[in-house]
Amino acid sequence: MSSITVAAQPGPFSFDPAHTALVMIDMQRDFIEPGGFGATLGNDVSLLKPVVPAAAELIAWCREHGVLVIHTQECHQPDLSDCPPAKRLRGKPSLRIGDPGPMGRILILGEPGAGFVPELLPQEGDLVIAKPGKGAFYGTDLGEELTRRGITHLIFGGVTTEVCVQTTMREANDRGYECLLIEEATGSYFPEFKQAALDMIRAQGGIVGWTATLGALR
Ligand code: C5J
């Protein structure tokens, strides 16, 4: 398939869909719905709701154009063996990782809350990466999967922009991937942090990568 070029910042972003993957970060009920991990930390999770239809549109666009769809989920093993105490004990949440909540144990693999929102369920042919950290490369086989599939370019969406999305995008950039973040398909509990992350990523000639709107893909 031939290359696609989209209007982006700081300049046009070109990619071959056959060598590109969408990395949709952590669109899980625990971050987006009331009663989950995000809410236990005191966040207004309703701020992330508008990301869901935009992420659905981005996923549909990628499937239509032959771009591999990867879904990450931040979660831990039931025995918490992959959850450092420093992470579990951080802050003053009403429920900690592993505690039982209204959507099952908070951020535990296999529990309803750690699953994806119903609008964004993985389909056959997609790749699902369970990750114990904020970045999607740490403690996972994402790097090997991308190499094995000959992926050179990554498109990003998901939540939250300045935490798991930015952490993953920065490491992907260090690993040599050309990275594009789609603005409407990412969100934060802190709109000003989202804006700052977008600005940081594309500053200095695209020091971490590119950003574009969904409209640029249509
Ligand atoms: C956070 C994430 N914010 N997916 N996780 O803890 O951004």
Instruction: Give the model confidence (pLDDT) of 125-177 as tens digits.
Output: 999 999 999 999 999 999 999 999 999 999 999 999 999 999 999 999 999 99
Q: What is the pLDDT of residues 26-35, one digit of tens each?
A: 999 999 999 9
Q: Would you state the pLDDT for residue 1?
A: 59
Would you state the pLDDT for residue 2? Answer: 87
Active site residue 174: no
Which atom of ligand 1 is least distant from the CA of 160? 7
Read off the amino acid at residue 182: I
Encoding tokens for residue 27? 């669109």
pLDDT in tens, 76-132: 999 999 999 999 999 999 999 999 999 999 999 999 999 999 999 999 999 999 999
Active site residue 49: no
Q: Which atom of ligand 1 is nearest to the CA of 167?
A: 7
Which of the following is catalytic: 62, 83, 164, 179? 164
Q: How confident is the model at residue 3 (pLDDT cuts 50, 70, 90)?
A: very high
pLDDT of residue 34: 98
ipTM exceeds 0.85 = yes
Global pTM exceeds 0.90: yes
Angle 13-17-23 (CA atoms, 0-180°, nearest 5)? 80
Distances (CA, A) of 127 to 121, 142, 146: 11, 9, 10
Question: What does the H/E/C string look like for the chain?
Answer: CCCEEECCECCCEEECHHHEEEEEECCEHHHHCCCCHHHHCCCCHHHHCCHHHHHHHHHHHHHHCCCEEEEEEECECCCCCCCCHHHHHCCCCCCCCCCEEECEECCECCCHHHCECHHHCCCCCCEEEEECCCCCCCCCCHHHHHHHCCCCEEEEEEECHHHHHHHHHHHHHHCCCEEEEEEEEEECCCHHHHHHHHHHHHHHHHCCCEEECHHHCC
Strands 13-15 and 4-6: what pairing?
antiparallel
